[in-house]
Amino acid sequence: MIDVAIHPLGDHVDTIPSIAEWFYQEWREIYGKETLASVRQRIETWVPQDRIPTALVAVAGNQVIGTVALKNSELHFPYSPWLAGLFVIPKLRQQGIGALLVGAAERKAASLGIGRLYLYTPSSQAFYEKLGWSVWEHSQLPSGPLSVMSKRLLSPVEDQTAR
Ligand SMILES: CC(C)(COP(=O)(O)OP(=O)(O)OC[C@H]1O[C@@H](n2cnc3c(N)ncnc32)[C@H](O)[C@@H]1OP(=O)(O)O)[C@@H](O)C(=O)NCCC(=O)NCCS
């Protein structure tokens, strides 16, 4: 793998317009009527590092090449919090950077006292299963079927959010 570092999004705020364009192209169907500007505004709320929502970026040289976010809510689902916004630029995929970002987001969530994380994916279930995630439920959106997946990060004793 090329040399990749994981940084807070807050260290690279100048890249937010490019990240918004990546997301808008990748998830346009899921976003529905959302505009590029509103996607960019949402990403701007991920800059603080001491709470959720927040985000991390993968950096090679001085270039941001991938992202991952932690969010409080997703769509209509009653679970929280969520791993979301996982994206690696196409030319650097299949080199372990996505797995690196997921691991970094899991550690960030655990450091915030999060015991269990959720995500949803239309097509990358096998990718997350390799990283220890399992299917929580299957669901259906206008854009197609998806899997909600979950991973326990802390034991129930350590989990400050356990009910
Ligand atoms: C999904 C994504 C983040 C994966 O990033 P990546 O850097 O290519 O992933 P990695 O190289 O870390 O892959 C880790 C492992 O998962 C496998 N893998 C990667 N993408 C996969 C996929 N879509 N389905 C199944 N397995 C996958 C890799 O082959 C690798 O397996 P190995 O450890 O046995 O070699 C990237 O393809 C992407 O940005 N896609 C577009 C956005 C997206 O779909 N995000 C996820 C939405 S929920």
- Where do the structural domains in the chain lie, given as residue ranges? 5-152
Closest-CA residue, ligand 1 atom 28, reads 94
Cβ–Cβ < 8 Å for 82, 117: yes
Distance between CA atoms of residues 147 and 87, nearest Å: 18
Task: Give the residue, out of 56, 88, 91, 101, with the most ligand 1 atoms within 8 A of its beta carbon, to mutate for a pocket test.
Answer: 88
The per-residue pLDDT for range 47-87, each reduced to its tens digit, is 999 999 999 999 999 999 999 999 999 989 999 999 999 99
- Of ligand 1's atoms, which has the minimum distance to the CA of residue 101? 12
Burial class of residue 91 (count of CB atoms within 10 Å of its CB; 0-12, 13-18, 19+): exposed
Determine the Cα–Cα distance for residues 62 and 81; give it in Å rounded to an integer: 30
Top-tier CATH class for 5-152: alpha beta
* Residue carrying the six token digits 């999060």: 114
Q: How many distinct helices (H) and strands (E) make up the chain?
A: 5, 7
Task: Name the closest-CA residue to atom 21, ligand 1.
Answer: 127
User: Can you give the pLDDT at residue 162?
Assistant: 59
Q: Indicate if the pLDDT at residue 149 is higher than 80.
A: yes
In this structure, the residues whose C-beta lies within 6 A of any atom of ligand 1 are: 26, 86-88, 93-99, 121, 124, 126-127, 130
157 pLDDT more than 80? no
Asked if 84 and 119 count as a contact pair (C-beta separation under 8 A), the reply is yes
Query: Do the Cβ atoms of 104 and 52 come closer than 8 Å?
Result: no
Q: How confident is the model at residue 124 (pLDDT cuts 50, 70, 90)?
A: very high
pLDDT of residue 161: 64
Q: Mean pLDDT score of the chain, rounded to an integer?
A: 94
pLDDT digits (tens, 9 = 90+) for 11-38: 999 999 999 999 999 999 888 899 999 9
CB 150 within 8 A of CB 136: yes
pTM for the full model?
Answer: 0.94
